[in-house]
Amino acid sequence: MHSVDPATEQMIRSVLAYAEERLRLDPVPLDGGPRDPAELGAALQGMLNDRGNDPDQVLGVYAATLAPAVISADSPRYLGFIPAAPTKAALLFDMLVSCASIQGISWLEAAGAIQAENQVLRLIADRAGLPATAGGCFVSGGSAGNLSALVVAREVAKRNAGPAAAGRRWRAAVGTDAHSSIISTLRILEMDALTVRTDDHQLTGDALRAAIEADGDPSSVAAVVATSGTTNAGIIDDLAGVAAVAKTRNLWFHVDGAYGGAGLFAPSVRRAYDGIENADSFIVDPHKWLFAPFDCAALIYRDPSLARSVHKQDASYLDVIHDDPAEWNPADYAYHLTRRARGLPLWFSLAVHGIAAYADAIEAAIGLARQAAAEIRSRDYLELIREPDLSVVLFRRRGWSGEEYTRWADQLLSDQVAFMPPSAWEGETVARFAFLHPHTPMDLVRRILDRMA
């Protein structure tokens, strides 16, 4: 039975056929490369007009001109920044979430979706060793998660300090390699960073203690942010040491695992996360290394009631969603209100594939990083900068200037071999592999390294 008109029917067929074709690409081609804004502009000329256009024609413009002007983050050749590798199951279910128009604010509107999302949050919390009472919600990304968590940290510090501390400017202790979103969060919150100098870029308990002891105003430090997998180098901070200092100093302990938190599922590296069970808040981006589509970040609090006391929005028209304290409203745990049920695609995919398949896929990228490091060590024109802890590998081509790295990377992209922009390490331009896609072949890695000879 069809309840839509023939034109809509045709549009459903066309768009789904296109989506099916994209879903069936395996491997996904890299695409992308430099585009001329004037050329893209010309292709869109007149598209937004009063009368509208034939859907097939609009789709044609997208398919022919716009889609190829995007570098596919889910290509196994995408080895820059942090790649993506959403499962087909998760991509399919993401479409379903959109088609079902699920309003993920409240239990009242979306109990079914929230139950499933919370099952995934529980799984992650269990892997981290957080208590049974831990909980939170899915937000759009790590940046949104860090911001939402640190608002709670600051408000809790304010409350604990009482009226005597009114107007005080609060600070958070951070390592030198904390993600840029932490710095921008502190700016938004009108907080300052107590930047802890570290050996080898790893924030340790000792370094944190020394920094606080040397500081002139330690009582203004409300929180410490540790990273479980730095974005540039994959370094996991000394979570147990930092947790111990946080406990004695009564600091909120936030762990940013946006990229590396997924390693909690990988037995070969799990021990490096010991101490994470003490986190007051923790984030991990399933849209990075847990094979979910954009945009999906998990935000979990040890004591969700603290988060609710900060984030719950009060408005007369919202009272109805807060009738029953036993009902879980994701809107109460971050700075958002309306939200996609963006945890559902991950739930579907986990339920379909099983948790072991996730562990294997994460281990695959860790294995690629170890093999790539060995390849680099075996070539005398290359130098490994540090042993990879996770799936990022930093290395240098002896004798190269920044321009030579850029030329090499541009050529890799224009030849559609790989997307691998250079990075920087201690002020020097260097090369960087970010592995994540479980199907990136080692042959490709060797080919990329050969091109640096």
**Which residues contact ligand PLP (rule: CB under 6 A)?**
82, 141-143, 179, 181, 227, 231, 256, 258-259, 285, 297
Q: Which is nearer to ligand PLP, 136 or 142 (CB)?
A: 142
Question: Cβ 292 to ligand PLP, closest distance in Å?
Answer: 11
Q: Could you tell me where the DSSP H helices lie in 335-387? A: 344-353, 355-377
CA gap 228, 133 in Å, rounded:
22
Q: Could you tell me where the DSSP H helices lie in 165-215? A: 180-188, 205-214
The structure tokens 């321009």 sit at: 403
DSSP track, 302-340: SSHHHHHHHH----GGGGGGGS-TTS--GGGGSS-SS--
Write the CA distances from 413 to 79, 137, 266, 391, integer angstroms: 11, 37, 31, 21
Question: Cβ 139 to ligand PLP, closest distance in Å?
Answer: 9
Write the CA distances from 445 to 26, 169, 363, 377, 399, integer angstroms: 19, 48, 17, 13, 21
Question: Cβ 181 to ligand PLP, closest distance in Å?
Answer: 4
Question: Cβ 80 to ligand PLP, closest distance in Å?
Answer: 13
Question: Cβ 287 to ligand PLP, closest distance in Å?
Answer: 6
Residue nearest ligand PLP, CB atom distance? 142
Question: Cβ 196 to ligand PLP, closest distance in Å?
Answer: 16
User: What does the DSSP 8-state code read for residue 11?
Assistant: H
Task: Name the residue among 396, 398, 408, 393 with its Cα closest to residue 442.
Answer: 393
Q: Which is nearer to ligand PLP, 299 or 373 (CB)?
A: 299
Q: Could you tell me where the DSSP H helices lie in 139-189? A: 142-161, 180-188
Q: Which is nearer to ligand PLP, 143 or 198 (CB)?
A: 143
Question: Cβ 143 to ligand PLP, closest distance in Å?
Answer: 3
- Count Cα neighbours of 82 within 13 Å in the Cβ-side half-sphere: 25
Write the CA distances from 237 to 81, 192, 203, 240, integer angstroms: 20, 21, 5, 9
Q: Which is nearer to ligand PLP, 143 or 220 (CB)?
A: 143
Residues in the chain: 453
Question: Cβ 385 to ligand PLP, closest distance in Å?
Answer: 18
Q: Which is nearer to ligand PLP, 222 or 258 (CB)?
A: 258
Q: Which is nearer to ligand PLP, 75 or 227 (CB)?
A: 227
Question: Cβ 294 to ligand PLP, closest distance in Å?
Answer: 8
Q: Which is nearer to ligand PLP, 177 or 274 (CB)?
A: 177
Could you tell me the sign of the dihedral formed by the alpha carbons of 332, 333, 335, 341, in that order?
A: negative
212 neighbors 261 (Cβ within 8 angstroms)? no
Q: Which is nearer to ligand PLP, 83 or 449 (CB)?
A: 83
Q: Which is nearer to ligand PLP, 72 or 227 (CB)?
A: 227
- Count Cα neighbours of 331 within 13 Å in the Cβ-side half-sphere: 22
